[in-house]
Homo-oligomer: A and B are copies of this chain.
């Protein structure tokens, strides 16, 4: 037993490699979105609204793993851009309902194409088996640990 345990290096953690790849994927996507005047958070919000008639900010906050404050400001920006509309909830004087404008609805498929492209190009180096493997493993972690939203930070 000659060696004391040595302080582990950054890259000895699986989390390190995960963060490296994940941040590059998100970053690449963010750069692609920039060209269309959108951010990742904006894309996610728009996509969430896409297959629903309308949604309350609070629900979006839960689904997106952001605070209500953040959603409030995000919605401000998107209404400013005329991509999202705020309407009063007829059943609850406090509540709002966010929905896509026509322009917003038209933008979603365009951004979805960028997302597809980004994902495809990033994982193009992998074999079909590798892609299936990594997805299965990630899903397993999500299920086992009961992860439900994506914390932004």
A residues with a Cβ closer than 8 A to B are 7-10, 13-27, 29-30, 44, 47-48, 50-51, 65, 108-109, 112, 115-116, 118-119, 122-123, 125-126, 130-131, 133-135, 137-142, 144-145, 147, 150-153
Given contacts A15-B115, A21-B138, 17 further A-B contacts (CB under 8 A): A7-B50, A14-B119, A14-B122, A14-B123, A14-B138, A15-B29, A17-B135, A18-B21, A18-B22, A18-B138, A19-B25, A20-B138, A23-B65, A27-B153, A122-B141, A126-B140, A130-B140
Q: How far is the CA of A82 from the CA of B13 in the complex (A)?
A: 27
- CB-based closest 8 A-B pairs: A22-B22, A17-B138, A125-B144, A13-B119, A15-B25, A18-B22, A7-B112, A27-B151
Q: How far is the CA of A21 from the CA of B130 in the complex (A)?
A: 17
CB distance from A24 to the nearest CB of B (A): 5
Chain B residue numbers with a CB within 8 Å of A109 are 7
User: Looking at the complex, which one of B8, B22, B137 makes contact with A130 (CB distance below 8 Å)?
Assistant: B137
Q: How far is the CA of A27 from the CA of B17 in the complex (A)?
A: 15
Q: How far is the CA of A142 from the CA of B126 in the complex (A)?
A: 11
CB distance from A94 to the nearest CB of B (A): 28
> Residue on B with the closest CB to A136?
B130
> Residue on B with the closest CB to A108?
B7
> Residue on B with the closest CB to A148?
B20
> Residue on B with the closest CB to A25?
B15
> Residue on B with the closest CB to A110?
B7
